[in-house]
Amino acid sequence: MRRTARQLADGREIIYFDSEETAPERTAEDLRELDGPPTAPEMRRDPLTGEWIAMAAHRQSRTYKPPADLCPLCPSEPGKPSEIPESDYEVAVFENRFPSFAAPEEQPGVSDGGVLDTDSLVQRAPASGRCEVVCFTSEHRSSFAALTPRQARTVVDAWADRTAELAQVEGVEQVFCFENRGEEIGVTLHHPHGQIYGYPFVTPKTSQLLRNAEEHHRTHGSHLLGDVLAAERSSGQRVIRESEHWTVFVPPAARWPVELVVVPHRRAPDLAALTAEERDDLAEVYLDTLRRLDRLYDRPLPYIAAWQQAPFRFGRELSWLHLNLFSVLRAPDKLKYLAGSESGMGVWISDVTPEQVAERLREVS
C-alpha cells in the first residue's frame, strides 16, 4: 500500500491510500479560498453521570444533503472543487471541516488538568482531539458492500494506519472508526464514507466493557469476549459466518432488530495489531456480511458499523477488538424507535429474538 499525505487549503491534512505503488501520484493542490482550520469546540462534564458531552454548535452549518454534482466527497472537477483535490482516488482520509473534537488553541485560565471549573458542579474543557472523514471510494453511487476485496482491504489498512497514528497525538485517549449508512441513521452525505474520532477521554461504553472484562477475568481468569466467542462458535445457533480468522454472530442479548458482532479469533487490542492475513480475511468476511444485510429486506439496509478498540493508556490487556454492526430497521418499512424505556431508562425491549435474526441472515447467503 502507498500512503500520501497532503494539505488542504485551510491547513487540514488529507491522506490518500492506494493499494498499488503504480497508482498515479497524488500531487493535486487545493486551490479553494478557505478560512483557517477549525478550532476545538467545548465539552462539559455531566455532574450526575460523570460523562463528557461535546458542545459543537458550529456543526449546525455543515453541508446537508447536497445534490450529487455538488458532493464534497467526490473527486474535484474543473470548476467544481471538493474536499478531495485529486481527479480520482482509491481511499482518502481528511480532517473533518466541521469536527466535534479538534486540536485546541491556547486558552488562558484552563487548569493543568485541562479542566476549567465554571461553578461548583459543572466542569468545562476544550473538546480536544481529532475527527476525520474516510472516503471508501471515489464512486458516488457505490457503497462499502460494492467494493472489491482489494478495495476493502485498503480501507482496513487506512483504519489501522489512522489508529496507530492518532495513538501518538497528545491528548487522544481512544480511537473510534465507524460508518453511518442511510438517511434513517441521519446521514447527510450520500457518498460512501465513514468517520474516525480521536476522543480526549475513554468513552462510557468502553469503560463499561472494561469493567465487565476486569470482573470476568478476576473471577474466571480468562477474557470475557474470548469466552463469549468460544460459546457462540460451539453452539452455532447465532453464528452467521465463520472463516479462518473471524466469526460473525448475533449477540445473545441483541438490543437492535438487526445486530451483529464481528470478532477475530485471536485477541487483538485494535485494528493496527491485526496481521496481514487477518486483514485479508476481514475484507472478505465484512463484504459478505454487508451483502447479506442488504438482502435481508431486499433493499439497502441503514446501519451503524462501530469498531470497538482498546484505549491507548490502559485496559489493553482486557480489550478484544470487535465490530458491532446494527440497524434501526425492524421490517422493510418499519423503524425501531428508542422510546420511553430505551431512551429514558436505558432498558431495551427487542421485537425479535437473536436466533430468528441469525437464521434469516444464514438463509440469505
190 is known as an active-site residue:
no
Q: How far apart are CA 89 and CA 92, in angstroms?
A: 7
343's CB contacts (< 8 A; 6+ apart) are none
CB burial of 109-142 (b: ≥16 within 10 Å; e: otherwise) equals: eeeeeeeeeeeeeebbbbbbbbbbbbbbbbeeee
Q: How far apart are CA 1 and CA 270, in angstroms?
A: 19
Residues in a beta bridge with 14: 6, 94
Catalytic residue among 58, 140, 190, 193: 193
Residue with cell 460459546: 231
| Cβ atoms of residues 116 and 256 within 8 Å | no
| Per-residue cell: 198 | 480521536
| Cβ atoms of residues 223 and 318 within 8 Å | yes
Kindly list the catalytic residues: 193
